[in-house]
Structure 1
Amino acid sequence: MTTLPDRPNTALLVIDVQQGVVEGSPRRDEVIENINTLIGKARAEDVPVLWVQHSDDGLVLGSPEWEYVAELTRLDDEPLVHKKWGDSFEDTELESLLAERGVGRIVVTGAQTDMCIRSTLHGALVRGYDATLVGDAHTTEDLTKYGAPSPEQVIAHTNLYWGFQNAPGRSGGTVSTAEVSFTAADAG
């Protein structure tokens, strides 16, 4: 239902599944396994897979912490978007890469739930995309020492509220890995 004209395709986004981002995150291995399942499904269906990789003062470009986890493998023809802000669209080439591929709907996976995942979902919706969150394919670190809820609560709340997001001509939604469809008409 995207508001972007002539953009009927769907893409899978793999956001910031980097060693220093997911180390110690709850359900780390399960989340990575689910992302691998989605990558395999997307590749089998010729759905674009785009990778996003964050860097900042705490996640230094080229450092071991900055590298993607070893369990995930990006193919050479799958774009890698470098970013410095929470929203994967902000000051990156993501929008042009999606436009080149006729993408009006994104399926979002990765980390961190309460930072880059939420920012990218909202960024997509305001830019005219439909944005589906895969509820069992994202995670976050424990920030309770700063007053945040537990990671499990952050993940559950994000899954809940994103399931009800929409805007004129655009929709959000939360589904499990097993429910993901890359066909826009199925929008799951």
Structure 2
Amino acid sequence: MSTLENRENTALLVIDVQKGVMASSVHSDEVVGRIQQLVEWSRQQSNPVIWVQHSSEELPLESTVWEIVDELSPQAGEAIVHKTHGDSFEATNLEDVLAKAGISHLVVAGAQSDACIRSTIHGAFTRGYDVSLVSDAHTTEDLSEWGAPEPDKVISHTNLYWSFQTAPDRTADVVTTEKLIAGAQE
């Protein structure tokens, strides 16, 4: 249903599952485990896995904290997109990678729910992509000290509002890892 012509493929977009990000995020082990399942599922379905890595003052390019967590490992030929903004499309080659692979539907997982995940799912949706947020495969850090809700509430709220997102000729949905994988096997 996306508004992108001549594109029918789905890709898994794994955002910022980096050592420095996941070290301060809640439920990191569980989220990484689910992302492992999603990566395996995507590869079995012959869907591209696209990795996104953020760099900033806190995540210097090529540093240990910038690296993808040890439990996850891009395979040869899988795209790695480097970004410096929250939205994975801004000032990156992500759109080129997706266009070349004929992608119209993104399955999104990673970190942080209230920052790069949120920016990217909105960025994708406004660019014409169908977007599925994997409800139990994204996380964030505790920023309640600065007035943000507790992390579990941030994650729940992100899932809640995305489930009501609408626009002409595009779909937005929220799905668990288990249901996504089971649905593909039916």
Common topology (TM > 0.5): yes
What are the within-5 Å matches in structure 2 for residues 1-40 of structure 1? Answer: 1-40=1-40
What are the within-5 Å matches in structure 2 for residues 146-165 of structure 1? Answer: 146-165=146-165
1:11 counterpart letter in structure 2: A
Moved over 4 A (4+): none
Which structure 1 segments of 5+ residues have no match? Answer: none
2: CA distance, partners of 1:63 / 1:101: 30
2: CA distance, partners of 1:29 / 1:122: 26
Shift of 1:59: 1.1
1: CA distance, partners of 2:162 / 2:171: 10
1: CA distance, partners of 2:60 / 2:116: 17
Shift of 1:62: 1.3
- SS of the aligned residue for 2:120 comes to helix
Which structure 2 segments of 5+ residues have no match? Answer: none
Calculate percent identity across the aligned residue pairs. 54
Task: Give the paired residue count.
Answer: 184
2: CA distance, partners of 1:163 / 1:18: 26
1: CA distance, partners of 2:24 / 2:18: 12
CA contact (8 A) 1:31 1:139 kept: yes
Shift of 1:58: 1.5
2: CA distance, partners of 1:101 / 1:42: 14
- SS of the aligned residue for 2:65 comes to helix
Shift of 1:181: 5.6
CA displacement 1:55-81 (0-9 Å, x = unmatched): 011111111111110000110110000
Please, what TM-score do these two structures have when normalized by structure 2? 0.96
2: CA distance, partners of 1:53 / 1:83: 6
CA contact (8 A) 2:41 2:181 kept: no
